Amino acid sequence: MSSHKGKVRFPLTLIMALMLGLVIQPYTFRAIAAENAGKQEQLAKELEGLQSEVINLEKAFELVSEYVRPVVVSINSVKVFKHEGLGPQEDRETPFYHRRDREREKDGDRERDQFRDFFGDEFFDRFFRGRPPEGEFRTEGLGSGVIVDERGYILTNNHVVEGAQELKIKLGDKREFDAKVIGADPQTDVAVIKIESSDPLPAAKLGDSDKIRVGQWAIAIGSPFGLVQTVSAGVISATGRANVGVAQYEDLIQTDAAINPGNSGGPLVNIKGEVIGINTAIFTRTGGYQGIGFAIPINMAKAIMRDLIDKGKVTRGWLGVVIQDLNPSLAQSFGVSVTEGVLVSDVQPNSPAAEAGMERGDIVTEYNGTKVRDVNHLRNLVAPTEIGKAVTIKVLRDGKEKSLSVKIGEQPPELFGLGPGAQPTAKNLGVTVQNLTPELAKNLGYEGDKGVVVSSVQPGSPGALADLREGDLIREVNREKIDNVDDFRKAVAKSGADKDVLMLVRRGEYTRYVIIKAKQ
């Protein structure tokens, strides 16, 4: 009887529990639904409160794009070159084939060998080892620019127009013009070109790049991959970027606004529609956008533009010193605790610095009221200084601060006659050199040797193609021993503008001969 009652009791308990659950569950679901509805209502109110701000920001981007796009142009550059052809044996020994063979090795020897095995050696040699075709060839490049003056002046990059026989400009309203180069400055990668129009031309509003701050909005406009009038947005990622390898004078703006091939020379603008930079390069491992782009600050570009239009050349301030960055080890050696500033490793005779009493071993900490961070910073401070202006330079000498009054001179043409921006009569190797001081010799491991040290190499220059690198020691030029920069200049000048230069170069423990081809 008890077992029977137990069997009956269990189903009743289960039924009661189920009934209770049916009562509770609808109540729980209704409570959750009500809570969610309350959250949604609260979120809707918050979004509504922010809506006007978001719409205003969106509207700002629309207005900036509409305001700036008419002044952005596409630049099609045409370069013409001739190839006269070489003999079957000669052509295998030319740089063309060395470069191609290296590229094949880079792509993978196995693929090449499989291709050869499939088609046979005769087919492979005929189509892949024959000499380049003879005749005249035209290559086209695409870049961007921005109209900065109603008279038709356009700012762009030097590398967009360099060596071009023809320049075709297309405006946002589809008008097309031929352009001529007013001037270019490879040392900053800035160029100015001009178009002639009988109708009025729009002009961009130029901002103040000294006022930009990291985190502010940045908008890039140009023709990436030929897609004209493309707008991309991001922020200012960093300022004062140097040693990027774009040019000799670098004080670049970094941005994550999408910049791709074809954007070069186009404007980087702020949320007010003011041009704050000229897009010039990207950091990439793929050839396309990877979140890091660089622009030349508009203040630097404006100064270069004024010189090119008014004088036909760029004039730069000059101190006449060889400088190097100050690291903790060097600071300790000179008995100072500063971590910023630059060390003077040499002072050129009869230079502004020498006349002002600057000495080797001085540590430059301040230039005309501005704290000096590093070598690049000081160079960028000196270069735009008005020629003949007296500036105050603070140095640490034997641990004590000293103020010097220096009358800034004009940078001699021959100073960069060995690099970009050379005068037509100067040898253009694309390298700059400095004397081998005891400090440099010790740091680079060249103690007891003689020569000049390569301080910079312009990308794409004859020096770069010959594989010269910063830190190389040039011991001989055309079989003449070199002791200093003056020896180097004289030896290079003797070779003439159209002749190759033979150099004996030391890198580390190894010495080799290098031939730098005359730039045509």
pLDDT surpasses 80 at 282: yes
Place of tokens 């990439």: 284
Residue 93 pLDDT: 32
Residue 160 pLDDT: 93
**Does residue 406 contact residue 319 with C-beta atoms inside 8 Å?**
yes
Q: Quick one: pLDDT band at residue 19, thresholds 50, 70, 90?
A: low
Q: Quick one: pLDDT band at residue 328, thresholds 50, 70, 90?
A: confident
Average pLDDT value for residue range 411-435 = 56
77, 223, 264, 455: the active-site residue: 264
**Does residue 393 contact residue 365 with C-beta atoms inside 8 Å?**
no
Cα-based torsion angle of the residue sequence 248, 252, 257, 262 in order, rounded to the nearest 10 degrees: -30
* Residue 487 annotated in active site: no
Domain ranges of the chain: 55-74+143-311, 85-133, 317-410, 414-516
- CATH fold of the domain at 317-410: Pdz3 Domain (2.30.42)
**Does residue 184 contact residue 167 with C-beta atoms inside 8 Å?**
no
* Residue 337 annotated in active site: no
Cα-based torsion angle of the residue sequence 369, 373, 437, 509 in order, rounded to the nearest 10 degrees: -170
Q: How far apart are CA 357 and CA 404, in angstroms?
A: 7
Q: How far apart are CA 320 and CA 332, in angstroms?
A: 26
Q: Quick one: pLDDT band at residue 22, thresholds 50, 70, 90?
A: low
What CATH code would you report for 55-74+143-311? 2.40.10.120
Tell me how far CA of residue 314 lies from CA of 92, 184, 304, in angstroms.
42, 9, 6
Closest Cα partner for 241 from 374, 389, 436, 75?
Answer: 374
Per-residue pLDDT reduced to its tens digit, 446-471: 988 999 988 877 766 788 888 888 88
Three-class SS of residue 294? strand
Tell me how far CA of residue 264 lies from CA of 210, 226, 389, in angstroms.
21, 11, 34
Three-class SS of residue 367? strand
Highest mean pLDDT: which of 3-12, 65-74, 317-326, 331-340?
65-74
Average pLDDT value for residue range 85-105 = 37
Average pLDDT value for residue range 340-361 = 89
**Does residue 480 contact residue 491 with C-beta atoms inside 8 Å?**
yes
pLDDT surpasses 90 at 352: yes
pLDDT surpasses 60 at 69: yes
Q: How far apart are CA 83 and CA 104, in angstroms?
A: 23
Please give the share of the chain, as a percent, with pLDDT higher than 90: 40
Per-residue pLDDT reduced to its tens digit, 1-15: 444 544 545 566 656
pLDDT surpasses 50 at 423: no
74, 77, 189, 456: the active-site residue: 189
Half-sphere exposure of 342 (CA within 13 A, CB side): 22
Please give the share of the chain, as a percent, with pLDDT higher than 70: 77
pLDDT surpasses 60 at 104: no
Per-residue pLDDT reduced to its tens digit, 187-226: 899 999 999 998 889 999 999 999 999 999 999 999 999 8
Highest mean pLDDT: which of 244-248, 386-390, 414-418?
386-390
Per-residue pLDDT reduced to its tens digit, 106-161: 444 444 444 444 444 444 444 444 445 566 667 888 999 999 999 999 999 999 99
Q: How far apart are CA 142 and CA 283, in angstroms?
A: 19
Q: Quick one: pLDDT band at residue 86, thresholds 50, 70, 90?
A: very low
Residue 270 pLDDT: 96
Residue 95 pLDDT: 35
74, 77, 159, 456: the active-site residue: 159
Place of tokens 């003449």: 480
**Does residue 294 contact residue 281 with C-beta atoms inside 8 Å?**
yes
Residue 398 pLDDT: 87
Q: How far apart are CA 326 and CA 344, in angstroms?
A: 10
Residue 130 pLDDT: 46
Q: How far apart are CA 309 and CA 80, in angstroms?
A: 27
* Residue 189 annotated in active site: yes
Q: Tell me, yes or no, if the two domains 317-410 and 414-516 fold the same way.
A: yes
Q: How far apart are CA 280 and CA 261, in angstroms?
A: 10
Per-residue pLDDT reduced to its tens digit, 219-275: 999 999 989 999 999 999 999 998 777 777 889 999 999 999 899 999 999 999 999
**Does residue 226 contact residue 235 with C-beta atoms inside 8 Å?**
no
pTM over 0.85? The answer is no
What CATH code would you report for 414-516? 2.30.42.10
Residue 430 pLDDT: 78
